[in-house]
Amino acid sequence: MVVKNICCLGAGYVGGPTCSVIAWKCPEIKVTVVDLSKERIAQWNSEKLPIYEPGLDDVVKACRGKNLFFSNDIKTAILDADLIFISVNTPTKTFGNGKGRAPDLKYVEGAARMIADIAQSNKIVVEKSTVPVRAAESILNILSANQRPGVSYQILSNPEFLAEGTAIDDLLHADRVLIGGEDSPEGRAAIEELCSVYEHWIPRKNILTTNTWSSELSKLAANAMLAQRISSINSLSAVCESTGADVSEVARAVGLDSRIGSKFLQASIGFGGSCFQKDILNLIYICESLNLLEVAAYWQQVIDMNEYQKSRFTAKVIESLFNTVSGKQVALLGFAFKKNTGDTRESPAIHVAKTLLDEGASINIYDPKVEKSQIIDDLTNPSICEFPEQVKSRVKIFEDAYSATAGTHAIVLCTEWDEFITYDYNRIYKGMMKPAFIFDGRKILNHEELIEIGFHVQTIGKKLSRPRSPRCWSSKPNI
Ligand SMILES: NC(=O)c1ccc[n+]([C@@H]2O[C@H](COP(=O)([O-])OP(=O)(O)OC[C@H]3O[C@@H](n4cnc5c(N)ncnc54)[C@H](O)[C@@H]3O)[C@@H](O)[C@H]2O)c1
């Protein structure tokens, strides 16, 4: 079989960009991305795509309507496909056995059952969602138990390593593509089919083929180890703040060691996003199920350190504001979990906002890409919020940073958007209550310059001195 027709179940942060790049690089392959959500598909077919990713608009515009289609007609897409990607969500369970740890595989199972119900010809089914080790076995069981006569399936694992904010670049220049499959003639043939798709733009030497379980575990391992580096440098940031060392200098010195390398050594308010925490919890759950309790405890520390970092940062904000934020106005710059995305899943900004609201503050929020409705949904989510009306009355969302900061006592920078570096902080300072505080949770601002202007500046992993000559100590902004 030569792959001519691809279907992708799930038009999210992974399915959308991945299949857009496949369509762009493989003009002779028809790629149809389907989703249960009518709204999401309508957005993919509109001028304003449902997700923000640098470069994505151009790729979609180049192929949409030619060999790239977004549709809710799941049945036709499955019937026509030679190869089906399962790119559905695998969130952490919020109920029952494994609550708060195990991944909820109901969407993966739902996708497998749809394929089994609809397919009338042989299919290669590719797990692109991040799943626990041996999930492919469950998918195959579901498909085999419902198989029509004459229809056969090959299941491959092809985890996605893209990072939000750099997804298109990551897909175009992947460090590696990983494909796991069964060690049988049919399994090897299916692996070759998928290899031939990626070989349109990825050199063969960068396509790694393994057994299915190694491929599934490698995805969890990669995310666990990336998050572990962040927690490691964040743990050292606390030592820096207590000793006078500077975590940026430490990270540079450590990262220049070629055995260690410099990436993922940027101390911050903590990691967020839909994957790191979920995938480590998934790994922990697997270890616990295998009675590997020491291994589970080891990885649990990576998450605990992240929670500690978020709480430590927020506690510092409150302590610096004379131990109370009740009745104060605080501006939050950035709400996405990182720059160049509008995704807020597990964003540290949610933790900061919730704590400040619990302590009685009112908050003004500005983020260049996150929709207002998303911010309100996140802050009024029943899992973190008891009194949604109170939140709504004390949260204001702004279209720009200058209005968001005007009249506030403090700025808390939660996301490392480039535009935050370029602002006129003299102007911002004039509009704020005095003393004016900035808490740089991403270490991106010029702290010396801010101190010179008159700000009280706090950041991660470095002690900063107070303003030399505060220009104004009146409690009113001097606009
Ligand atoms: N977001 C990332 O950066 C990233 C990176 C690598 C891997 N992953 C993994 O990829 C998977 C997808 O993540 P995402 O961020 O794209 O999720 P997402 O929530 O953005 O998208 C998933 C989509 O699947 C759809 N869906 C669910 N069941 C369906 C079905 N039966 N048929 C058709 N559509 C269905 C949902 O409506 C949703 O739109 C997850 O397992 C995640 O862990 C995510």
Tokens of 334: 């950035």
Domain at 250-479, CATH from 1.10.10.10, 3.40.50.1970, 3.40.50.720, 3.20.10.10 = 3.40.50.720
Q: Give the pLDDT confidence of 371-380 residue by residue, as tens digits.
A: 999 999 999 9
pLDDT at 283: 97
Output the CA 210–ligand 1 centroid distance in Å: 24
Give the model's confidence band at 275: pLDDT under 50 very low, under 70 low, under 90 confident, else very high: very high
Q: Is the pLDDT of residue 475 over 60?
A: no
Query: What is the mean pLDDT of the segment spanning 398-403?
Result: 98
Residue 425 clears pLDDT 60, i.e. is over it: yes
Q: Could you give the CA distance from residue 332 to residue 361 in angstroms, rounded to a whole number?
A: 12
The β-bridge relationship of strands 456-459 and 437-440 is parallel
Expressed in angstroms and rounded, the spacing between residue 88 Cα and the centre of ligand 1 is 4
Percent of the chain whose predicted confidence (pLDDT) is above 90:
93
C-alpha 13 – ligand 1 centre gap (Å)? 7
Pocket mutation for ligand 1, best pick of 18, 87, 88 (most atoms within 8 Å of C-beta): 88
Q: What is the pLDDT of residues 127-148, one digit of tens each?
A: 999 999 999 999 999 999 998 8
The residue to which tokens 């491959």 are assigned: 156
Looking at residues 266-289, what average pLDDT do you find? Answer: 97
Q: What DSSP string describes 230-257?
A: HHHHHHHHHHHHHHT--HHHHHHHHHTS
Strand order across the beta sheet in which 207-211 lies = 68-71, 30-34, 5-9, 83-86, 123-127, 153-157, 177-181, 207-211
pLDDT tens digits along 310-353: 999 999 999 999 999 999 999 999 999 999 999 999 999 999 99
Concerning whether 275 is annotated as a catalytic residue, the answer is yes
Q: How large is the average pLDDT for residues 279-283?
A: 97
User: Which pLDDT belongs to residue 477?
Assistant: 62
Dig out the tokens for 451 from the structure: 């101190």
Q: Compute the average pLDDT of residues 210-214.
A: 97
Looking from the CA of residue 161, the nearest atom of ligand 1 is 6
> Per-domain residue ranges for the chain?
5-202, 250-479
Q: Is a pLDDT exceeding 70 seen at residue 155?
A: yes
pLDDT at 472 over 50: no
Write the pLDDT tens digit of every residue in 27-86: 999 999 999 999 999 999 999 999 999 999 999 999 999 999 999 999 999 999 999 999
Q: What's the whole-number mean pLDDT along residues 286-302?
A: 97
Q: Could you tell me the pLDDT band of residue 467, with boundaries at 50, 70 and 90? A: low
**Ligand 1 atom 6, closest CA:** 160
Per-residue pLDDT, 474: 47
- pTM (global) more than 0.75: yes
**For residues 164 and 131, is the Cβ–Cβ distance under 8 A?**
no
| Cβ-Cβ contacts under 8 Å for 129 (sequence gap 6 or more) | 10, 14, 86, 87, 88, 89, 90, 107, 108
Residue 174: alpha-carbon gap to chain centroid: 18
Q: What is the band of 473 on the pLDDT scale with cuts at 50, 70, 90?
A: very low
Least confident of 96-100, 226-230, 383-387, 452-456: 383-387
Provide the pLDDT for residue 469.
Answer: 52
Q: Report helix, strand or coil for 404.
A: helix
What CATH number was assigned to the domain covering residues 5-202? 3.40.50.720
Mean pLDDT of 157-162: 98
For the CA of 111, the nearest atom of ligand 1:
31
5-202 and 250-479, same CATH topology? yes
DSSP line for 292-305: -HHHHHHHHHHHHH
pLDDT at 468 over 90: no
* CA 34 to centroid of ligand 1, rounded, Å: 11
Percent of the chain with pLDDT over 70: 97
Active-site residue (options: 19, 26, 240, 275): 275
pLDDT at 221 over 60: yes
Residue 329, beta-bridge partner list: 362
* Residue list, ligand 1 pocket, CB within 6 Å: 9-15, 34-37, 40, 74, 87-90, 107, 110-111, 114, 129-130, 160, 162, 164, 274-275
Average pLDDT over every residue of 271-296 = 97
